[in-house]
């Protein structure tokens, strides 16, 4: 049984997916650290061990993400835009757009029914609207990243975080803490700020879409899911493992290449 490997070498985490006959057989998510090539290599070795397969069982490897150029073992490198599109469409056929919020960037991608990219917009020059924003705030509030979602949903009066700059927003949060504002209200305000930023970025592309997928590590955050859903006026489709969608897409592209479809 031949395996196809998708590697998404992101700035924060590396995702390795093994796929066979269109189905995900195994996946790993680990921090990238300073050496993206070494991390990817190690993760692939671990994956092979855990699936009891050797290098001969691997038909092809496709790499995506910011570190993709460094993954020397990859047979092909494709941008994360194209991979996210492919991955999302495979999980939710008929999806029309993807919102992806990663560690250091956010992107909105419009796709057709085959997962082909029709349009995209990215924000990667500013931490606001990315996972980094959440990380900074978690540190200030001394709250775990996994607690943000539930806390946010329990708030009845979210505060308004108006600063567009992460550094200034951090100051706003500190002021709220000093004032004794309930932490759930602050957290809810933070989630609202991120959702607003991403919605503002992608509004034009998302207009008219009814089936929208939310991917990336931040998609696990219920507070942000709600923030986006409220603004979009619909329910978002969140995959069970929103972080690996890019790697899944890469694997699919690998599969298509083998079949001569690309």
Partner 1 sequence: MAFAKAEKTFQASVETSKFVREDYKYMYAAKKEGKKIAWMTGITPVEMFETTEIVSVFPENYNAFSSAKQMGADLCQEAEMRGFSQDICSYGRLCLGYCLSGKGPYGSLPDPDILICTRNACATHVKWWEAMSHIFKKPLFVLDIPEIHGVPTKAQTKYFMTQLEKLKEFIKETTGQTVKDDRLEEKVALSQRTSELWSELTEMRKKSPCPISSTDVFNQMFLTVTKPATKRANDILTQLVAEVKAYVDQGKGVVEHERFRLMWDNIAIWYNLGLMNYLQKAGAVSVIETYSSHCGWGKLMDMSQGPAHALASKYMPGYLNLDLNSKVKLMQSLAKDFRLDGALLFSNRSCKPYSVGQYDIKIALEKVGVKSVMFEADMVDQRAYAEETINNRLEAFLEMLENDKSAK
Partner 2 sequence: MNDVISTCVAYNAERLERLKEYKKKNNRKIVGFLCSQVPEELIYAAGMLPVRIMGSREPLQMADSLLQSYVCSFSRSCLDLMLLGKYQFLDGIVVPHSCDTIRALYGVIERNVPLGFTHFLKYPISLEKPEAAVLIIEEYKEMKEKLEKFTGKKITDQDIREAIAVYNKNRALLQKLAAFRLASDRRITGEEFLEVALAGFVMDKKDHNILLEKLLKDLAAKKPLSSKKPRLLVAGNVLDNSGMLKIIEDAGADIVWDDLCTGTRYFGSSVDEKKAPLEGLLEHYLSRTYCPCKGKLQRRIDYLLDMVKASKAQGVIMLHQKFCDPHLWDVKFVREEMEKISIPVLEIEYEQFAGDSGSAGGIRTRIQSLIEMIGGK
Our CB check for partner 1 shows the closer of 18 and 64 to be 64
Q: How far is the CB of 235 from partner 1 (least distance, A)?
A: 27
Is residue 15 within 8 A of residue 44, CB to CB? The reply is no
Q: How far is the CB of 221 from partner 1 (least distance, A)?
A: 25
Give the footprint of partner 1 on this chain (CB under 8 A).
66, 78-82, 114, 116-122, 124-125, 204, 262
CA distance 37 to 136: 27
Residue 262 site contact among partner 2, partner 1, none (CB < 5 to 8 Å, cut-off depends on kind): partner 1
Residue 35 site contact among partner 1, partner 2, none (CB < 5 to 8 Å, cut-off depends on kind): none
Q: How far is the CB of 117 from partner 1 (least distance, A)?
A: 4
DSSP state of 104: S
Q: How far is the CB of 69 from partner 2 (least distance, A)?
A: 28
Give the footprint of partner 2 on this chain (CB under 8 A).
126, 160-165, 167-172, 175-176, 193, 196, 199-204, 231
Question: What would you report as the CA-atom Rg of the chain, rounded to the nearest whole angstrom?
Answer: 19
Our CB check for partner 1 shows the closer of 118 and 165 to be 118
Is residue 177 within 8 A of residue 141, CB to CB? The reply is yes
- Buried b vs exposed e over 98-107: b needs ≥16 C-beta within 10 Å? bbbbbbbbbb
Q: How far is the CB of 168 from partner 2 (least distance, A)?
A: 3
Residue 230 site contact among partner 2, partner 1, none (CB < 5 to 8 Å, cut-off depends on kind): none
Is residue 224 within 8 A of residue 218, CB to CB? The reply is yes
Candidates 120, 6, 25; CA nearest to 65 is 6
Residue 161 site contact among partner 2, partner 1, none (CB < 5 to 8 Å, cut-off depends on kind): partner 2
Is residue 3 within 8 A of residue 255, CB to CB? The reply is no
């Amino acid at each position: 049984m031949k395996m196809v490997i998708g590697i998404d070498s992101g700035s924060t985490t590396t995702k390795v997916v093994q796929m066979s006959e269109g189905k995900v057989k195994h996946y790993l998510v680990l921090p990238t650290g300073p050496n993206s090539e070494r991390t990817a290599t190690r993760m692939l070795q671990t994956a092979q061990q855990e699936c009891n397969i050797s290098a001969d069982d691997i038909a092809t490897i496709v790499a995506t993400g910011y570190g993709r150029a460094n993954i020397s073992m990859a047979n092909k490198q494709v941008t994360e835009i194209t991979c996210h599109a492919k991955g999302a469409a495979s999980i939710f056929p008929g999806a029309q757009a993807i919102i992806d919020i990663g560690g250091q960037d956010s992107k909105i991608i419009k796709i057709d029914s085959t997962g082909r990219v029709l349009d995209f917009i990215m924000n990667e020059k500013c931490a606001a609207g990315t996972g980094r924003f959440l990380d900074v705030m978690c540190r200030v509030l001394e709250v775990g990243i996994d607690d943000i979602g539930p806390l946010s949903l329990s708030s009845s009066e979210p505060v308004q975080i108006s600063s567009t700059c992460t550094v200034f927003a951090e100051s706003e949060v500190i002021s709220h803490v000093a004032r004794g504002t309930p932490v759930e209200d602050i957290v809810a305000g933070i989630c609202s700020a991120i959702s607003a930023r991403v919605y503002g970025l992608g509004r034009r592309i998302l207009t008219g879409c009814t089936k929208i997928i939310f991917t990336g590590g931040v998609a696990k955050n219920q507070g942000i899911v709600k923030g986006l859903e409220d603004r979009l006026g619909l329910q978002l489709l969140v995959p069970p493992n929103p972080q690996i969608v890019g790697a899944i897409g890469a694997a699919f592209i690998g599969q298509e290449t083998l079949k001569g479809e690309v």
